[in-house]
Amino acid sequence: MTIVYRYGKTYYVNLTNRCPCKCIFCVRNRTDALGDAECLWLDREPTPEEVISELETKDLSESGEIVFCGYGEPTERLDDLIAAAKMVKEKLGKKVRLDTNGLGNLINGRDIVPDLAGCVDRISISLNASDPAEYLEITRSRFGIGSYQAVLDFIAECRELIQGVTVSIVGGYIPEESERKCAEIAGRFGVAFRVRRADRSVMADGHPSDGCSEPMLRQGLFARSREQRRASCRD
């Protein structure tokens, strides 16, 4: 079971496999492995103490920050995310970045941004669409059409409370005009904007690609169920 994995020079924490979305570009639809991890499907969810213990076995000298981003949405485990992030800062002396879909307030039924502000140095929020209908088509969020506004509200509050905020989209899954609108939205919020180009492998900046080919998905090349893939990880 992989709790911590390395991609490039950076170490990532795989806290959960739970997620309220089923994005059409999600990397976990096409591979079990990422970075130096052979399989990111968890047998069980690790405790914050296990996260720190695992990080302590790694050479973190070249990892400028520890990123909470695995095969799931970290805010699904808010209390454990906060506990682990604080320990990363206090025990390991590392900065913390959270990569999130921005639906944490809906997931937890309350405003979580003040809690995150106390333990997160940077946050990357997936926008991925320029309007509510487009967002729902791309992400298939279980929270429905109201998900998009929740993400916008989340971005706005993070901008006020967290210093390093980036809004991202996965390029190639929405029209170019929609991509431009997303960039304009980020500009109105006064936050950084990043387009992650899906190339089936890695991004030009060394980060994992979140994209895969929608036609390939339609052709059934990823026909194995999630349960079958998890079982293969345990073999």
Q: Which CATH architecture has domain 4-219?
A: Alpha-Beta Barrel (3.20)
Where residue 30 falls among pLDDT bands split at 50, 70, 90? confident
What residues does each domain of the chain span?
A: 4-219
Which tens digit of pLDDT belongs to each residue from 33-71? 888 989 999 999 999 999 999 999 999 999 999 999 999
Q: Do 91 and 49 contact (CB within 8 A), yes or no?
A: no
Which amino acid is located at 5 in the chain?
Y
Does 113 score more than 80 pLDDT?
yes
Closest CA to 14 of 92, 90, 197, 38: 38
34 by Cβ neighbours in 10 Å (0-12 / 13-18 / 19+) ranks as buried
Helices (H) and strands (E) in the chain, counts: 9, 7
Q: Residue 218 pLDDT > 50, yes or no?
A: no
Contact 173, 198 (CB under 8 A): yes
The predicted model scores a pTM of 0.85
Residue 233: its H or E element: helix 226-234
Tell me which of 12-21, 52-61, 103-112, 195-204 is least confident: 195-204
Q: Which residues pair with 197 in a beta bridge?
A: 171
What is the model's pLDDT at position 117? 98
Tell me which H or E stretch contains 227: helix 226-234
Strand runs labelled E in 3-108 = 4-7, 10-13, 65-68, 95-100
